Structure formats: C-alpha cells, structure tokens
Amino acid sequence: MSYPEPRYLGEKGEINAVFRGADTPPDIVAPNGTTTHYLASHASTGGEFGLYKVDMGPKAPGAKTHFHRSISESFYVLSGEVELYNGERWVTGRQGDFLYVPVGGLHAFKNDSDEPLSMLMLFSPGAPREEYFERVAEFAQRGGEELREFQVRHDSFFV
C-alpha cells in the first residue's frame, strides 16, 4: 500500500485550515426538528469527503433502505440511540458505535427511541449532498417520478 500522489507541491505549507465552532447554528432545521450541520461539505473539501452532524429528535424518521453507486456512507453515534440497518438486520447504535457502508451496501436509519440522538455522517468521496438534505422533504411531498429522478440524481437508490 502506498500514499496517493502528492497534490501539494510547495515547500513551506499554506495557511488554509477551516475552523467551525461548536456554537455555529445548524445549516438545516427540518420541520420535524432534525438539524444538520455541514461540518465539511463537498465544496469545502474539494470533493474529498463530506462530514455532517445530524441531530434527530425522538421518534424521528430517517432514511428508508437504499444504496449508493458512487459513494460510501459511514455513521458514528455521538449520543443517544439510532436504529441502523446494515443490509441484513437492524442494529441499535449507541454512543461510540460506528457503521461503515461501502459503495452498493444496503442501509437505512431512524430514531425509534423516546430520546434525541446525535451522529456524524461521512460520505466519501464528497458528493454534493447539501442539495439532497435541503430539498428531499420537498420532493418527498410531491412523490412520483419527480422524487425518483431527484433521488437518482443524488445517487440514492431506494429498494
């Protein structure tokens, strides 16, 4: 195994780190109370990865069973409990638990508990998931072929 080819060829390094304070308001507040923080978006990482903090309220629905053709997705539970479908069965993720879903892997998630939960979601490579998070509820209300086309455009194939 070797490292990827160098992309930075300078000799002294650059000042280019990005800090996001814990008190930064969420980027999305959904009608059901779920909030999403864009910790590292597709744009800010140049497509290397996307990292999002998702806070879900009690009994909040998540995503039904689906897979991605071009991105992997990972879940890291910060607090609370989340029901994670690993393609074979539902497992309860608790603080410190981690689920990695390779490209093509079936997965789903939801909060079935009476308590809120907080988790990190990591996508690699960093696809432009922000539009998906911002508009999925709108397209879900419309349903039909328009919803399906939106999901496919965002590499989400529901089964």
Question: How wide is the angle at C-alpha 150 spanned by C-alphas 134 and 126, nearest 5°?
Answer: 60
**Nearest CA-CA partner of 100 in 121, 70, 66, 73:** 73
Structure tokens at 54: 């998702």
Does residue 42 form part of some domain?
Answer: yes
Does residue 4 form part of some domain?
Answer: no
HEC states along 8-55? CCCCCCCCCCCCCCCCCCCCEECCCCCEEEEEECHHHHCCCCEEEEEE
Does residue 129 form part of some domain?
Answer: yes
**Nearest CA-CA partner of 116 in 148, 147, 81, 141:** 81
Query: In angstroms, what CA-CA distances link 144 with 21, 40, 141, 147, 148?
Result: 40, 32, 9, 6, 7
pLDDT for 122 equals: 98
* Alpha-carbon gap, residue 74 to 57, rounded angstroms: 20
Per residue of the chain (159 residues), what is the pLDDT tens digit? 899 999 999 999 999 999 999 999 999 998 888 999 999 999 999 999 999 999 999 999 999 999 999 999 999 999 999 999 999 999 999 999 999 999 999 999 999 999 999 999 999 999 889 999 888 888 888 888 998 999 999 999 999
Give the CATH number, domain containing residue 136: 2.60.120.10
Does residue 74 form part of some domain?
Answer: yes
pLDDT for 45 equals: 94
How many CA atoms are closer than 13 Å to the CA of 82, on its beta-carbon side?
30
**For residue 43, what are the domain limits?**
28-158
pLDDT for 33 equals: 86
Does residue 119 form part of some domain?
Answer: yes
Count of domains for the chain: 1
Does residue 95 form part of some domain?
Answer: yes
Of all helices (H) and strands (E), which one includes residue 107? strand 107-110
- Mapped onto helix, strand or coil, the DSSP state of residue 110 is strand
Does residue 19 form part of some domain?
Answer: no
Does residue 49 form part of some domain?
Answer: yes
Query: In angstroms, what CA-CA distances link 83 with 45, 112, 157?
Result: 29, 7, 20
- Mapped onto helix, strand or coil, the DSSP state of residue 122 is strand
* Alpha-carbon gap, residue 110 to 59, rounded angstroms: 8
